Amino acid sequence: MDSIKITIDDNELTARKGQTILEIARRNGINIPTLCHDERVKPYGACGICVVEAKGSAKLLRACSTKASDGMVIHTDTDRVKQARKVAMELIMSDHVGDCRGPCTINCPAHTDCQSYVHEIAQGNFQEAVKIIRDRIPLPSCVGRICPHPCEDACRRNLVDEPVSICALKRFASDTDYDSEHSYVPPVAPDTGKKVCVIGAGVSGITVAYFLRQNGHKIDVLDAMPKNGGMFRYGIPNYRLPKDVLEQEINVLRYMGVSFHNNVCVGKDVTLDELRKKYDAVVVAIGAWKDQPLRCKGTDLDGVIGGCEFLEQIGLGKRPEIGKNVAIVGGGNTAMDACRSAVRLGAENVYIIYRRTREEMPAEDDEITEAMEEGVQFKFLYNPVELSGENGKLTTMKVQKMRLGEPDESGRRRPIPLENEYTDIQVDTVIGALGHTLRPEGFEQLEMTDKGTIEAGLHSFRTSLDGVFAVGEATNKGATIAIDAIAQAGQAVDQIDAYLYGGTSFYKEPYYSEKKVSESDLADRPKIPRHPVQKRDRTLAKSDFQEVNYRYTKEDAMAEAKRCLECGCFDYGHCTLIKRANEMPIHPERFAGSQHPSYKEQELVCIERDQGKCILCGLCVRICDEVAKKGILGLVGRGFPTVVKPEFRDPAVIAGCKDCQLCFDACPTGALKLLVPEKEK
Amino acid sequence: MAQANTVDLSLIEEILDEYASVPGSLITILQKTQEVYGYLPMDAIYRISERTGNSPAKIMGVATFYAQFRLQPIGKYLIYLCKGTACHVNNSDLIGATIEQELGITNGETTEDGLFTLEHVACLGCCSLAPVMMINGEAYGSLTPQKTIQILQDYRKKEASA
Amino acid sequence: MKLVVGEGSCGIAAGAAKVYDALEQAIGEKDIHLGITGCIGMCFLEPIVDVYDDNGELGARLVKVNPAQAGRIVDAVSSGDLSSIQKLMIKDEDKTFLDKQTRIVLRHCGKIDPTSIDDYLDDDGFQALGAVLDHMQPEEVIDEIKTSGLSGRGGAGFPTWFKWNAARHAPGDEKYLICNADEGDPGAFMDRAVLESDPFSLIEGMIIGAYAIGCKDAFVYVRAEYPLAIKRLENALKIAEERNYLGDHILGSDFSCHIHIKAGAGAFVCGEETALIASLEGERGMPRLKPPFPAESGYNGKPSNINNVETFANVAWIIHNGGKEFAKLGTEGSKGTKVFALSGKIRRGGLVEVTMGKTLREVIFDIGGGIRDGKEFKAVQLGGPSGGCIPASRLDTIIDYKALQATGAIMGSGGMVVMDESTCMVNTAKFFLEFTSKESCGKCVPCRLGTKRLLEILTRICAGEGKEGDVELLEELCNAVKDGALCGLGQTAPNPVLTTIHYFRDEYDAHIRDKSCPAKQCADLVTYRIDPEKCTGCTACSLRCPVKAIHGVAKSPFEIEQSLCIKCGSCYNNCHFGAITRE
C-alpha cells in the first residue's frame, strides 16, 4: 500500500495514496466544514465551503474531492479560506428562502421556541410544552400572565387575522402542568462544587439561579425583602399576578435545590466583599426600586407617593390611605398597575395624567383598555406643573395643556406646553409613575453608568469587580420588561459558567434565515378568529385584588394553538446549513437580490419539497441516482433558475419512490420534509 | 401532456432505431427529435426514455440545460438576435427593440399568427457585420431599424402571397 | 479566367450567395470558371470576388460587390480589360489589412475552395500527414510540437506537446482526441472561419494529433449555431475518408482513425473541457471536478486530449515546415501566431493573424485602421467573458500570454472587441455578467449565485441606484468568485468587472455618486430632448425612432415622448441640425 506524507495545519500526517484531503483531515480530527458532501455519493464540489489552501497552488482546493499528494502542505483556516467560505455561505443564504424560526421566536428576547410549544399544546402534550417553555423561561405561569408578548406582535397570523394567543397558551400549559400529579421540574446536573451567590430574588436573579443550578452549581439567593419574587411580588398587583402562583413557581427552584435567604440586605447585613470571598462568583440582580421624582413644585406634600412605593405597600399586604381622588402621572405599565390598584382601593375618581396621547403610551394596550373599562379617567396631553395643598396635605394638582410636536430621539412626538392653558384638579393622592431606578446603597464599589445604573459588560455581564456579575434592571440601560431581563440573565449564565471554570464565553447572536412575507402570500389561509380568554366579571373585578383573567379551557387552548401557521422550519435542530452559517460571521443581506420562488410541492410520494429552501446542492438528485439507483429526481434548467424536479409517469416509478426517504435523509436543510413518520432505522 | 394525442411518435422511431443503443447519444437524439417536431413534445421525451433507458428526469435535465432545446412549439420563422459583444457595442439593443415593436413579442415569445419566434443568442460569429440577426439559418448583417423592419415585412409578404 | 466568391458566413450574410448566383447567370456559356472560397478575413469588404488569371494568379480583388454589378464584372473579365471595374477593386489602404499579417492558421482561408480536397492538396495539403505516417514515430511528432513551442489557442495557453504526451502515456488502449469547436465567446469567430474555410487543415492536424497520442476515434464538438461550419466539415470528412486520408489504414499505413462530429446544443460552459466531455456523453454540460484531468479520465472515463480548432490548424504547418521555423516566430514565452476576431467600433474589422509580440496598437491601428466615425479609442476587450478591457494607456502591450495577463485581461481565444468613447464601461461589465450568469451551469455556488449577484449590483449601478461601497462589494465578490468557482467559466467571470473597475473607476463613481453615465449609454441615466429652437421639423428623427416615441407635425418642432423613449440614440445620431440634446 502506497503511503504519503501530508501536512495539514502544521500536523505532519501519514495517509494512503488516493485519499482526499477531507478524508485525511477527518481521520485525524481536523475539522473541515462541508455542506454538499456525503460519503455515500461521489464528490460534487458545488458548495465551495470545504475549500482549503495548499502551499504552491494558486487556486483554493476543494478538500472533498482533491486527492492528497505526497509532501502536500495544507492550511484549512487561513484568512483567504475563511473569506471564501464566508462569501459562499452568504451567497447560499441570499437565495435560501425560509424561516429557521418563527417570527415569534425571533422576536422573543429570550428566543423561546413558541412554535414548538404551541404545537405541543395543539397536540395535547402539555408537559412537553412546558419542557420547551422552561428551556428558556423559569417562571412560565408568571410570564404567561404579565408578558407584553413581543412574540404575538411578530406573529405572522397578524397578516391573516389576529395573532395566536401565545402568551395565554403559555400560562395555560404551565398552570395545567402545576395541577398535574407530577409537574415538571428541570433536571439538575451533578454537583460541581462551585458556589454562586445571587443578590436579589427578582426575575433576573431567579433566572440566573435557575439555569446555574441546572448546571450543578450550589446557589444561594439573598433578598432584602421578606418574600421572594422582586417586582413580580412587589411591583405587579395580585389581580394580574396572584402571589400563590408566584410562590408555586419559586418552589420549583427550591425543589431543584436553590437556597433562598430573605431579609438580607447587602451593605447592612453582609458586605459585597464578604460575599466575594465566600463564593466563587457573585451576581448582582437587585432591580430598580427607586421611583423617579415628579418634576414639578410641591412634591414634598403629604399625599404624593411614587408608583413603585405605592405598589410595594400593596405587595406587603397594606392598604395605603389614598382618599377619593387619585391622580397617577405617567403612561407606562406601572401607571396602569397603580391606577387599577387605586380603583380597587376604593378611590372614586382615578385619573391618568399623561403628557402625550394614547398612541404614544408605553403601557400595553390591553392594560389601557382594561383600566378604561374599570373607570379610570385618562387625561391626555396634560402635564403637572404644581402641586399644592393645605397644612402640608395635598389638595390640588395644576396641570398644563400640551400639544404634540416633532418626534424626539425615542421616535415619539415631543409634547410642547401651551401657554396659559392650565387646569386645576382636586386630588387627595398623586402617584408618580415616571420610571424607576436602582438603590445603589451597598454597591458603591461598583462602577456606575451616567444614568446611575451598574456598569456591566453588554455581553460579558462583568462589573468592575472580578467575579461580580450584574444583570437585569439595575444595570446599564435600566428598567425594561421581564422577558428582556430573563433573556439577559440567560445569556449571563453562559458567561458566569465559563468564568467558574476559568474561561470566557463569547456570546454571538444566532443567525437565522428569515423570509419576507406579505398579506398576499397568506391570502389562502382561512380566517379563524382568536379564542378569547374568559375574564372575571368587571364589577366584581374592580372591587378586589382577585385575578382578572382566567385560564384557557383545554378545548379552547388546543383550538387556539391550532391556529399557528408553523412558520419556523421543522428541520431547525438538524439543519447542517444553519449550523454552518452560524460558524461564520455572515451578512447575506449584502447580496440581497432575486430569489427562487418559495412554493411547496407534494409531487414526491412521501415528501414535501420546499423550493425556496433548496440550495441546489444536488444531494437528493445524486443520492437518488447513485445510491437508490432510481433517477427519479433531476435538475431542470441552467444557472440561477435551476430547480430540482421529480419526474413521475410510470406507476412503477411511483411505487419505487415510496418510502425510500434517502433524499430526505441527505438534504442538508429543510427543503425536503417527510409527510409520513420517519422510517425505523 | 396537453399535446398527448397530437404527436405522431412513429416519426422518431427511425432516429431511435439508429441511436437508442449508442451510448452518449441523448443530445443527438433530442436534436433530431426537435428537427422532426420543431420542439420536444413531452410524449416524445417519454418515448425516448423508454427506448434509451434514460429516466425522464435525466432527459428533462438535458433538454432544459441547453439553449437549443424547446419544450414548446415555435413559429415558422425563428429569429436569432445576436447578443454578442460586437453586436452589443454596435447597439443590438436597438435592433431588439425594433423587432419587439414590429412583431409585438419579446425574447422567447412567438407571434400570435405563429409566424415568428424571437430568441436571443450568445453570438452568431458574424461580428464584423454587427448588429446581426439570423432567420431560419440565414444571416442578416449591418442592421439598422429600417433594414430590420424591411426584412421582417418581406417575410410577411412572402407568407401572404404563398 | 476564374472568379471566386468568398462564401463564409459573414460573406453570405453580406450577400455573397446572391452575388454568386448573379455571376453564374451572367457567365452563362462564357468560358469563365466560377468558384467559391472561404473567408479571407476582410469582413468589412464583403462580399468579395477575386479574379484569377489563367495561371492561377490573383489578378484583382473586387470588394463590396452587389449582384447588380455581376454583368459588368463578367463583361470586364471576359474582355480581359478590367479598367471598367477599377472602382470595385480593393483600395491600396485596405490592402495593408492583409500585408501586415502573418498567416499560418489562416494560410488557406480565402484562397482555396473549402469543399475541394484537390484545392487543399495543391496547397501542400496532407503533406505533413504523409510525412508523419511515412517516417515519424509518435514521440517524434510530440517532440516536433515541443520544439515549436505551440500552446493551446483556446485561451489558457497550456503547452500542446505536454497534453499530448500526458495522453500518450496515460494507461489504457482506448483514448480519445477531441477538438473543441464550441467557440462560445461572444465576439470570437476564428474557429468558425477555419471550419468554414479550411476544414481539411483541421482534419489533418487532428489525425496527426491522434497518431501522436495513439487514438482511433476523435470528435469535433461544434456549436450548433454554426450550421455552415458543420456542413463544410461533414463534407470534408466524407471526402477525406473517400480519399483515404481518414478512416482505416490511412494512406496505406497501419494507422486508422475516425473523426465524428458532435453538435453542441447551446451552452457556453461546454467550452470548458470537463463540461464538454459531459456534453459529449449526452449529459447536462456541467463541469466536473479536476483532478482527475481528462488526460487520465475523460470521455467515457478514458484518457482524452482536448485542443481547440486553431491549435490543430497549426499542426500540419509545424510538421511540414519544422517546429524550429514556428519557434522563430513570436516571443520568448509565446510562439507562433495568434488569430484575432477584430470587431466593434473598428474601421476594418475581420480576421487578423499576427505573430506573437506585435502590440495591440499595431493590430488595432495599423491593421484595423483605428476607430471609425472619427471617434476616440477607449478600450479593447480581449478574451470575451473571461477577459478584460484594456485602456488606451496600455495599447503598447504586446501579444503574449504573460504580458496580456499582466493587464488583467487574457489572450483568450481571440475575440478583440474595440470600444470607443460612446461605450460605457460599467455597462460593458454588466453586459458580460449578463452573459456569464446566463451561461453559468448552476452547479457551484460561487458561480451560480456570485455572477447573479454581480450582475444585480452592476444593474443597479447602471440604473442610477448604486450605493457608496458598491464598488468595494463588487471587488470582494469578484475575488471570492475567482477563488471559489469550480471551473474556468466562473473563475474568470469576474475579469471584465475587475478590469473595468481598475482602469475606469471614475466611470463607476460617476454612476454611483453623480448618477450620470459619462458615455451616455446607460438608458436610465440619459435623457434625450429636442431643442425646439433648432428643430426644423424635418422628420428624420421621427422616422428612425424604433419605438415611435417622437411626434410632431412636419416643418414644426417635434417632441420626444419620454415614457416611450428607449434611449437608443437613433434620433441623436440622425439629426442634421444638432437639435437633439442628450444629458
**Given an 8 Å threshold on Cβ–Cβ distance, is B61 in contact with A632?**
no
A219 and A283 both lie in a single domain: yes
A681 pLDDT higher than 70:
no
Q: What's the pLDDT score for residue A677?
A: 64
**What is the rounded CA–CA span in Å between residue B115 and residue B138?**
16
Cβ distance C343 to B128 under 8 Å?
yes
C544 pLDDT higher than 90:
no
A205 and A159 both lie in a single domain: no
Percentage helix, strand, coil for chain A under 3-state DSSP, each rounded to 5: 30, 20, 50
Angstroms from C134 CA to nearest CA on chain B:
35
Q: Residues B114, B120, B125, B127: what is their CA dihedral angle, to the nearest 10 degrees?
A: 110
Write the pLDDT tens digit of every residue in A583-594.
999 999 999 999
**What is the rounded CA–CA span in Å between residue A453 and residue C114?**
91
Is A508 domain-assigned? no
C468 pLDDT higher than 80:
yes
**Given an 8 Å threshold on Cβ–Cβ distance, is A632 in contact with B57?**
yes
**What is the rounded CA–CA span in Å between residue C13 and residue C19?**
11
**Given an 8 Å threshold on Cβ–Cβ distance, is C417 in contact with B145?**
no
Is A585 domain-assigned? no
**Confidence band, pLDDT 50/70/90 cuts, at residue C65:** very high
Cell numbers for A631, please give them: 433517477
Rounded CA Rg of chain C: 26
Q: Look up the domain containing A256 and give its range.
A: 195-287+457-500
User: Max Cα separation, chain C?
Assistant: 84
DSSP for C65-78, please give it.
--GGGHHHHHHHHH
Cell numbers for C197, please give them: 474555410
User: Taking residues C515-539, what's their average pLDDT?
Assistant: 92
Contacts of C304 (CB under 8 A, 6+ apart): C167, C175, C176, C177, C178, C277, C294, C295, C298
Q: Is the dihedral of CA C320, C324, C327, C329 positive or negative?
A: negative
Question: In the predicted model, what is the mean pLDDT of chain A?
Answer: 93
Phi, psi of B102 (to 5 degrees): -70, -40
Report the CATH number at residue A142: 1.10.1060.10
**What is the rounded CA–CA span in Å between residue A108 and residue A566?**
16
**Given an 8 Å threshold on Cβ–Cβ distance, is B145 in contact with C281?**
no
From A168, A163, A112, A107, select the one nearest A522 (Cα to Cα).
A163
Looking at residue C530, what DSSP letter applies?
E
**Given an 8 Å threshold on Cβ–Cβ distance, is A639 in contact with C437?**
yes
Phi, psi of A244 (to 5 degrees): -70, -30
Sheet holding A607-610, edge to edge: A600-601, A607-610, A672-674
Query: B77-161: which CATH architecture?
Result: 3-Layer(aba) Sandwich (3.40)
SS (H, E, C) A417-448: EEEEEEEEEECCEEEECCCEECCCCCCCCCCE
Q: How far is CA C502 from CA A667, C429, C450, in A?
A: 41, 12, 19
Specify the 3-state DSSP secondary structure of A320.
Answer: coil
A295 and A432 both lie in a single domain: yes
**Given an 8 Å threshold on Cβ–Cβ distance, is A647 in contact with B65?**
no
Nearest CA in chain A to C290: A66
Write the pLDDT tens digit of every residue in A348-370.
999 999 999 999 999 988 899 99
A551 and A476 both lie in a single domain: no
- Into how many domains does chain A fold? 5
Cell 428623427 sits at which residue? C541
The CATH number of domain C527-582 is 3.30.70.20: yes
Percentage helix, strand, coil for chain B under 3-state DSSP, each rounded to 5: 50, 10, 40
Cell numbers for A34, please give them: 462541508
Q: What's the pLDDT score for residue C304?
A: 96
A390 and A363 both lie in a single domain: yes
A279 and A295 both lie in a single domain: no
Q: Name the percent of chain A lying above pLDDT 70.
A: 99
Cell 425510500 sits at which residue? A660
Residues C377-394 as b or e (16 or more Cβ within 10 Å = b): bbbbbbbbbbbbbbbeeb
Cβ distance A120 to A129 under 8 Å?
yes
B127 pLDDT higher than 80:
no
Cβ distance A50 to A64 under 8 Å?
yes
A304 and A401 both lie in a single domain: yes
Give the start-to-end residue ranges of the domains of chain C. Answer: 2-90, 117-327, 337-420, 425-513, 527-582
DSSP for A192-219, please give it.
-S-EEEEE--SHHHHHHHHHHHHTT-EE
Size of interface A-B (CB pairs under 8 A): 33
**Confidence band, pLDDT 50/70/90 cuts, at residue A57:** confident
Residue C384 with chain B: CB contacts under 8 Å:
85
Cβ distance B33 to B40 under 8 Å?
yes
Q: What's the pLDDT score for residue C475?
A: 97
**What is the rounded CA–CA span in Å between residue B137 and residue C17?**
13
Identify from C570, C572, C573 which residue to disrupt to test chain B contact, counting B C-beta atoms within 10 A and taking the largest count: C570
- A 10 A CB-CB count for A404 gives 16
Cβ distance C24 to C71 under 8 Å?
no
Angstroms from B157 CA to nearest CA on chain A:
37
Give CATH for domain C117-327: 3.40.50.11540
B94 pLDDT higher than 70:
yes
B78 pLDDT higher than 50:
yes
Q: What's the pLDDT score for residue B1?
A: 37
Q: Which class is C2-90 in CATH?
A: alpha beta
Query: C425-513: which CATH architecture?
Result: Up-down Bundle (1.20)
Q: How far is CA C132 from CA C117, C211, C305, C497, in A?
A: 19, 9, 19, 46
Cβ distance A469 to A283 under 8 Å?
yes
Q: Which class is C337-420 in CATH?
A: alpha beta
Is A511 domain-assigned? no
A397 and A483 both lie in a single domain: no
Residue C183 with chain B: CB contacts under 8 Å:
125
Residues C139-178 as b or e (16 or more Cβ within 10 Å = b): eebbbbbbbbbbbbbbbbbebbbebbbbbbebeeeebbbb
In this prediction the pTM is 0.87
User: Taking residues C248-265, what's their average pLDDT?
Assistant: 95
Write the pLDDT tens digit of every residue in A439-482.
888 899 999 998 889 999 988 999 999 999 999 999 988 768 89
Is A539 domain-assigned? yes
Chains near C with 3+ CB pairs less than 8 A apart are A, B
Q: What's the pLDDT score for residue A510?
A: 86
From B62, B60, B72, select the one nearest B27 (Cα to Cα).
B62
**Confidence band, pLDDT 50/70/90 cuts, at residue A1:** low
User: Taking residues A276-291, what's their average pLDDT?
Assistant: 94
Cell numbers for C89, please give them: 477593386
**Confidence band, pLDDT 50/70/90 cuts, at residue C328:** very high
A176 and A200 both lie in a single domain: no
Contacts of A38 (CB under 8 A, 6+ apart): A619, A622, A623, A666
Specify the 3-state DSSP secondary structure of C355.
Answer: strand
- Chain A positions contacting chain B at CB under 8 Å are 630-638, 645-647, 649
Q: What's the pLDDT score for residue A413?
A: 87
DSSP for A242-280, please give it.
-HHHHHHHHHHHHHHT-EEE-S--BTTTB-HHHHHHHSS
**Given an 8 Å threshold on Cβ–Cβ distance, is C446 in contact with A51?**
no
- What amino acid is encoded at A245 in this protein? V
Is A95 domain-assigned? no
| Cβ burial, residue C17 (10 Å; 0-12/13-18/19+) | middle
**Confidence band, pLDDT 50/70/90 cuts, at residue A678:** low
**Confidence band, pLDDT 50/70/90 cuts, at residue B2:** very low
**What is the rounded CA–CA span in Å between residue A122 and residue A137?**
20
Cell 427607586 sits at which residue? A290
Cell numbers for B83, please give them: 447578443
Q: What's the pLDDT score for residue A679?
A: 52
Give the start-to-end residue ranges of the domains of chain B. Answer: 9-65, 77-161
From C106, C150, C102, select the one nearest C355 (Cα to Cα).
C102
- What amino acid is encoded at A571 in this protein? D
Nearest CA in chain B to A622: B58
Contacts of C339 (CB under 8 A, 6+ apart): C105, C106, C153, C190, C193, C310, C351, C352, C353, C414
* Nearest Cβ partner for C445 among A65, A91, A639: A91
- Report helix angle A114-122 to A554-561, nearest 10: 130
From C71, C82, C81, select the one nearest C27 (Cα to Cα).
C71
Cell numbers for A344, please give them: 380597587
A305 pairs with which residues across the strands?
A431
From A480, A489, A541, A438, select the one nearest A333 (Cα to Cα).
A480
Cell numbers for A370, please give them: 382594561
B3 pLDDT higher than 50:
no
Q: How far is CA C328 from CA B24, C147, C357, in A?
A: 43, 10, 12
Write the pLDDT tens digit of every residue in A175-232.
999 999 899 999 999 999 999 999 999 999 999 999 999 999 999 999 999 999 999 9
Query: B9-65: which CATH architecture?
Result: Orthogonal Bundle (1.10)
A326 and A232 both lie in a single domain: no
A317 and A420 both lie in a single domain: yes
A680 pLDDT higher than 90:
no
Specify the 3-state DSSP secondary structure of C87.
Answer: helix
**What is the rounded CA–CA span in Å between residue A119 and residue A562?**
7
**What is the rounded CA–CA span in Å between residue A536 and residue A544?**
11
| Cβ burial, residue C368 (10 Å; 0-12/13-18/19+) | buried
Q: What's the pLDDT score for residue B155?
A: 94
- Chain A positions contacting chain C at CB under 8 Å are 43-48, 51, 59-60, 62, 65-67, 80, 83-84, 87-88, 91-92, 94-95, 590-591, 593-594, 615-616, 618, 635, 637-642
Chains near B with 3+ CB pairs less than 8 A apart are A, C
- What amino acid is encoded at B150 in this protein? Q
